[in-house]
Structure 1
């Protein structure tokens, strides 16, 4: 639609507004400029902005956007009243249209040179509404026609508030339009215009009221794009609503605005969201922060919860799949500490489970029935025990690995199944990743078996290790090979399982907030090594041998390494050790080396004598 620059300047002063700014702001407000020349500006009007259909409506929109006042004031009339004004004109009048008026009309749509018709079109372009030209024989105005000369014609001005009418409009500048029309007609037709005949009728006008909550404005428009993110202020919102002629009223207790929608915007301002969009449009959307504010507020998370989450993710990263089993079962170990149900649903769920490995083993057997070849699962669950008259509830971590295609030495060879050494490495990697100080070592006969008593029968006695807390040397779990006698299928295979007290495992997890390096001075003097062979009974712990050798020589012994081990007859074994000696202060002399050798021989003899005397 084309609009005249000159007519627009009659309603609003554009001298202080730069053209580029005018073009940008009008486009951001939904009125896209398609073409511009020195006389006209062509704007694309969308369906929801059909009220912008005249110079007056464009001036009103420009006034709102730039907060610049209109240069015309409405003339007060009686409110809620319909008008019909009839003005009679003689038919003989000057019909030539002045050039300036033609230049204000759309040159593409000039069809008639009659001055009255051109004034009618000019008023329509300028004010958005215009008068009607009727003949005196029109039935509607027959009574009026009987009182006037038949050589006259009638001009009708109307102001309608009837909602049912297709011409539904209310123009607060109706009187200005009327005065402007009469002046133009009188000036260019050279006719004397007398008094008009007027009809009035009262109409009950219903003003549309909309409630807008301040909270919804903040939510939808968001923060302002500033260093300290703030919502748009209440007074600023109120001023914008005034500029939009919405007559706002702020309810402080409700924290909401009540607005009245003007009649020329009733077609598109129908809901709360429409008003909020207008506020953002006038305040300019680019002034709001264009990213969603993230509120990373979390409730308190206990240390156990955080560490359990870390353990679960670590196992998943190692390839384990989590399973969930019911807390009701029928335990295979018939201990008197088992907690039985008074009224069980069935025989398979008549007790609270005292370990989680039995459920995991059942998961394994179900997967084997469904031809599953590789099974790597874990579960974090509660177990229940009775200690005299006290009932205990503990959190346990259990898992199972069965993999017949775990490793391959070369691409030419077939894949091999997982071994106990592989399984031990997996557990150690798991402990390392969760930053646990727990260690795997042989289970001693005098260890407290509270954490392993309910699962001890599930392990192969000669292929199991205990998980120990090094701070108190307390056993917190058990890992090893499954005793295949308890399963119904695949008895000649290797299955590895573990069960750990979760709470005690969490206690071994150290924080990474501080580095725990041990700084030691490095010796610049050469070292000497001695390889020795010791004959031991099959199940003597090598740690005891190491501690015996280090005793009285710990200042010179730098390291003790196991080179190899040979099994002998009669449950004996031969272990080769390499001992490295080094002084931090000097090079060792021949006398000192000779003393070390003699001392080693004496200790070996004592160890062998000790085994014979005690029949170890």
Structure 2
């Protein structure tokens, strides 16, 4: 909110400079984002009077003016404004003046051969308007020529651009900021009052009734009829205050409603009474508040036709929509030049209802911003009376009828909160008092009472029986802070804020403990490092997806249909990312993602952490070694990437056949097992999905249970890395080949051979597979190389041969293989 320092000084005494005030407010929680010193806009501009304006001898559109600025000789100024004429009182920029809004420094010059000794200014050149048709003239009875024009234009002011937090609705008003400054500085506060407001009793000719059907959305609604007004421009003081706040002046009635909104934070709206009666076709009006109905629409003040929704709160006249409640009025009932009678609305709307209504219409205004944060119902009557008083003063109207509807049962003036001195000092700690003071280093009761009294709180003090040193207050919170100060901790925050956070001591624990990462967090970092090390990029996706499956967790209030449920798996998002990269010419995506998946089992909601990834395309990206040709990634290369990760993490993972994953090829998918627990799945993209998404065939995916992975990594035997020295003795190789059923996996064969060979076996690797001619049907030919080695000697044939024979016997016994060598 833009705060005028001149206006603020009328409400509270300010003895500090604008810069000091900005720092004080910022430290207290009201951040001042900008300081706008308007006095620099017209430094050197003085009041002058045009004595004579004659046509320029060499230019049709220029005039040569003789301007008196209170000096012995008038200035000769060439002016191009069409409204320049004799006897006008104008703003004159003298030689040497710099006008920052047009980036112009005045100096003596000649225009078409005629000397010019200054410039007669328009409001645009002084920064008060975007465009001006001509020079600005003052309507003054006894002008003091040569005097500074800044006080006349409201340019002797400083504007503070203040940002209030969401919990401080009172910070969106001049009175609220004035109260805050008074509390921070102890200055005298002067709250505006409404006097002389009298509503004439004309019940016999009653025109207005109020009927609020949505009392939860609108707890208070007041309508006031004001007759016999005259629409005219606002006085200069009102225009200047609105302009300083960034509000465009329109006419006296509309400007007054905006002025009260800025002053009190209470939005008001003025309807043209005669137009309302014309819309309804009746002299008797029943103003109501309800939610919109399907198919309804009306045009708002911005000339946009709004289609009403079920969540749109509207003001109605005889059940016809005439305004978006708390947001914007209707074009057909707006106040205009010929308006003679008004219906002034003053209401309190539910913050939730206005937020939903504004979001549904895609419209946010100054009024809706204040209603969304919550206005103070206790000051509604005062703000309404002040508006009526100003309208009767500036527009000449007479209030003739006022009707209200209220659904507030509880007392809106105050609320009570208990506050303990011991809790204050426990939370805030000791103070920076100075070394030579005799005062204790904690807040004293008198200091707390002074702060809370400055905030406008009422205090009732008592001493606890259990602890005579402790003090407990019953704090009566003023109505304008009732939404913010609801608990004891809120009051403690206010005490710290007003006393000054920097006045409390910095304390650290007596014995600090060195920080460390828990084992699971350390393991998670090692996981990320391992996946990045093999060339996978970490990805991030939303956990929100489109509602499709039956076991999904559905969100009750989704922002979009595409984000209406929580994901049950992560593969779909990775496939989308892979396709998106290809469509944008970025090549194949090799990446992984760590996230959470959610699902329902009956009425119970469940979740778990997972790590998933996708790989595909050419790992070499068509290097020159292949003549620029692409070499698609094979299933075994993709599997090798996973195995490299597991090897880096010292994990032994087993592979088994898997056919139940929809997105993966049923014949090229494996389930992964770790320490007897299912770890996850790995496989090639299903051909149907590949064809539908127009993706390459060589795309591979995996999804692993993160908790199983972390559990294995944090086991005691895996945390300690064991070093095994390299053997300096030669190895002894043995090959074995046999026919075996295609149903037997290579992993089971390797496990059998490793167990049978004992501790002399260093490695076993498959180096040949053959199917076809001379191989029995339903079988395949496999050849393995077994490497034996000892760390302390060279193995002899007598040591290796018995081990190899055990391997042969075990294979025949367990898998019924047909040995070939």
TM bucket (normalised to shorter chain) is 0.3 to 0.5
The structure with the larger Rg is 1
Greater strand share, 1 or 2? 2
After TM superposition, the score normalised by the length of structure 2 is 0.32
